[in-house]
């Protein structure tokens, strides 16, 4: 296939680019680099079947040549990013999603919307199944992200039912792994960056709130399976193994071999107390289940963060040497 991936320079998008290229697809990556990074595309850019277009999809999305599938992943996704860019986040789920849908319709292509478990809000049903409508505060601090994805789901469904576009919706639960930004504000990257830097590990609230953590390689396998199917969704993609945030902090401290203390801070407004996906639909319709447990995934992620920290430290030392020499 020739697949257009919006937000393809981001954490998830770049891994999806790599997976599709490895299996023989052609990939057109579209990203405005507001939160994505070109360095995430280092592997992809060596492949002649890869093309990069720097573009804000909320303004326009025009790709020449054949298009067999469009995966819409473009959006700020971490709390610091969407809180800093609220209007751009809402635009990504509205104008950006529609521009991607128009492209898919024009080419008769499969359309994949990367939605989120945040559409469930602070859930009153546990675990969360796809037929649960959610419990979302539409004017709370997280609403720009939650509501942009809820609107994108409604828009995607309307394009399917009214215009016959072949669409599919996935709801992505907490995902982690290499290429997460150190400053993206997500719990896994926060804990690892703090521990490796010898800083206190900050836990918001009591640490008893739960999350389910899916390793990125598992997650993008699910995205590729959804692209290959005609399943409309929504389909949950996530690892149903449930851990408290406190347990995660203890695992990171143990695996990084540091004695950094845990520092407790006030829980942010509308932070969900529990989050775990029911993945029966993904198993039945896509033949998908996660294969990598949290400890194994954390080991790969910590190794990546440690290597990156050493690279950045080496670059700083080389820069200092050049300054002294100059």
Using CA atoms in the order 97, 101, 103, 107, what is the torsion angle rounded to 10 degrees?
Answer: 160
Question: What is the per-residue pLDDT for 235?
Answer: 98
Domain annotation covers residue 199: no
The three-class DSSP label of residue 103 is helix
Question: For residue 248, how far is the Cα from the chain centroid?
Answer: 19
In a domain, 182, yes or no: no
Q: Which domain holds residue 156?
A: 2-175+214-240+272-292
Q: List Cβ neighbours of 238 (8 Å cut-off, separation of 6 or more).
A: 117, 172, 173, 174, 175, 212, 214, 219, 276, 277, 279, 290
Whether 133 and 199 have beta carbons less than 8 Å apart is answered as: no
Max intra-chain CA distance, the chain: 67
145 as an active site residue: the answer is: yes
Q: Is residue 70 part of a domain?
A: yes
In a domain, 43, yes or no: yes
pLDDT at 271: 80
Cis omega before residue 38 (within 30°)?
no
Q: How far apart are CA 13 and CA 224, in angstroms?
A: 11
Look at residue 29 and give its three-state secondary structure. Answer: strand
What length does the chain have?
326
- Walk along the chain (326 residues) and give the pLDDT tens digit of each residue: 999 999 999 999 999 999 999 999 999 999 999 999 999 999 999 999 999 999 999 999 999 999 999 999 999 998 889 999 999 999 999 999 999 999 999 999 999 999 999 999 999 999 999 999 999 999 998 899 999 999 999 999 999 999 999 999 999 999 999 999 988 889 999 999 999 998 999 998 889 999 999 999 999 999 999 999 999 999 999 999 999 999 999 999 999 998 878 888 888 887 888 899 999 999 999 999 999 999 999 999 999 999 987 776 655 545 555 545 55
Instruction: Provide the number of structural domains found in the chain.
Output: 1
Tell me what pLDDT residue 51 has: 98
197, 235 contact by CB (below 8 A): no
Give the integer Cα–Cα distance in Å for 174 and 179.
15
| Contact assessment for residue 21 and residue 13, using Cβ atoms and an 8 Å cutoff | no
In a domain, 326, yes or no: no
What CATH code is carried by the domain that includes residue 59?
Answer: 3.40.50.720
Spatial separation of the C-alpha atoms in residues 183 and 61, rounded to whole Å: 29
229 within 8 A of 287, measured Cβ to Cβ:
no
pLDDT value at residue 7? 98
Q: Is residue 207 part of a domain?
A: no
Q: Would 195 be classed as within a structural domain?
A: no
Among 82, 145, 159, 215, the one annotated catalytic: 145
Tell me whether residue 165 is in a domain. yes
Backbone angles phi, psi at 264, to 5 degrees: -95, 135
316: part of which helix (H) or strand (E)? helix 294-325
DSSP 200: P
Q: For residue 201, give the nearest of 184, 215, 188 by alpha carbon.
A: 188
């Amino acid at each position: 296939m020739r697949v257009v991936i919006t937000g393809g320079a981001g954490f998830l998008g770049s891994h999806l680019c790599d997976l599709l290229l490895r299996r023989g697809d052609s990939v057109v990556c579209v990203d405005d680099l507001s939160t994505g990074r070109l360095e995430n595309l280092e592997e992809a850019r060596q492949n002649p079947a890869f093309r990069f277009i720097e573009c804000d999809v909320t303004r326009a999305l025009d790709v020449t040549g054949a298009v067999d599938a469009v995966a819409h992943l473009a959006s700020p996704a971490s709390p610091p990013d969407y809180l800093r860019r609220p209007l751009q986040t809402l635009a990504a789920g509205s104008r950006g999603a529609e521009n991607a849908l128009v492209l898919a319709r024009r080419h008769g292509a499969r359309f994949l919307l990367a939605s989120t478990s945040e559409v469930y809000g602070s859930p009153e049903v546990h675990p969360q199944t796809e037929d649960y409508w959610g419990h979302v505060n539409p004017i709370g601090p997280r609403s720009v992200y939650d509501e942009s994805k809820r609107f994108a789901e409604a828009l995607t469904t309307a394009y399917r039912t009214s215009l016959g576009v072949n669409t599919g919706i996935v709801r992505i639960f907490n995902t982690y792994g290499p290429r997460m930004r150190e400053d993206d504000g997500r719990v896994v990257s926060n804990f690892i960056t703090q521990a490796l830097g010898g800083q206190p590990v900050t836990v918001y609230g009591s640490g008893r709130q739960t999350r389910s953590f899916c390793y990125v390689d598992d997650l993008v396998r699910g995205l590729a399976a959804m692209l290959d199917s005609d399943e409309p969704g929504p389909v949950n993609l996530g690892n149903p193994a449930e851990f408290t945030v406190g347990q995660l902090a203890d695992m990171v401290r143990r695996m990084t071999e540091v004695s950094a203390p845990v520092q407790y801070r006030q829980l942010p407004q509308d932070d969900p107390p529990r989050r775990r996906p029911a993945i029966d639909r993904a198993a039945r319709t896509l033949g998908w289940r996660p294969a990598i447990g949290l400890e194994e995934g954390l080991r790969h992620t910590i190794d990546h963060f440690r290597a990156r920290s050493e690279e950045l430290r080496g670059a700083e030392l080389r820069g200092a040497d050049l300054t002294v020499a100059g």
